[in-house]
């Protein structure tokens, strides 16, 4: 599980809850989009290949990305942290994944937590969450964000 998978899951899970991230109206973040297969597993497909006239294919540059403000990022973080502990634990990830029909294994969720846990305490804090958003180019005004 990498940052892209986590942010895609966050964007998909939040598109209906608050309306800030409407991924249905914007193209995918990168060249390889993720779709759900019949087992609700995230599957990567090449989204920048567009059928042209005839049988030739051409690449289309995708520049728009799902963007959220710092305030929206904070709001989403605390939606995941229902207990108000200031962190998102493995239990919170299980709850969010299950409530949005993501069938990630225990190992995938642990890997997601381990890879993004800055201090090794088994929890994601707001700064870890912000780092993921900046790394995935979804935070407005970040150095990596699309213009």
**Strands 87-88 and 124-125, sheet pairing:** antiparallel
pTM equals 0.50
Give the ranges where 2-139 is alpha helix by DSSP (H): 3-14, 70-80, 90-99, 106-116, 126-135
Q: What does each of the 147 residues of the chain score in pLDDT, given as a tens digit?
A: 566 777 777 766 665 444 444 444 443 344 444 444 444 444 444 444 544 555 555 444 344 556 889 999 898 889 889 888 999 998 887 887 777 677 878 898 888 888 889 899 989 999 988 887 787 787 887 655 444
Q: Please name each of the domains of the chain with its CATH number.
A: 3-135 (1.10.238.10)
Q: Identify the H or E element spanning 49.
A: strand 49-51
What was the pLDDT predicted at 55? 54
Q: Residue 124 forms beta bridges with which residues?
A: 88
What was the pLDDT predicted at 141? 77
């Amino acid at each position: 599980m990498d940052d892209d998978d986590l942010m895609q899951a966050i964007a998909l899970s939040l598109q209906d809850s608050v309306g800030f991230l409407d991924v249905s109206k914007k193209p995918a973040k990168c060249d390889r989009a993720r779709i759900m297969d019949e087992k609700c597993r995230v599957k990567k497909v090449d989204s920048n290949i567009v059928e042209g006239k005839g049988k030739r294919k051409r690449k289309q540059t995708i520049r728009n990305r799902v963007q959220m403000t710092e305030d929206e990022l904070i709001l989403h973080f605390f939606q995941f942290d229902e207990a108000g502990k200031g962190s998102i634990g493995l239990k919170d990830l299980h709850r969010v994944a299950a409530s949005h029909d993501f069938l990630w294994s225990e190992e995938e969720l642990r890997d997601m937590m381990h890879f993004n846990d800055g201090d090794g305490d088994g929890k994601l804090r707001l700064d870890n969450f912000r780092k993921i958003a900046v790394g995935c180019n979804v935070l407005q005004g970040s150095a990596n964000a699309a213009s």
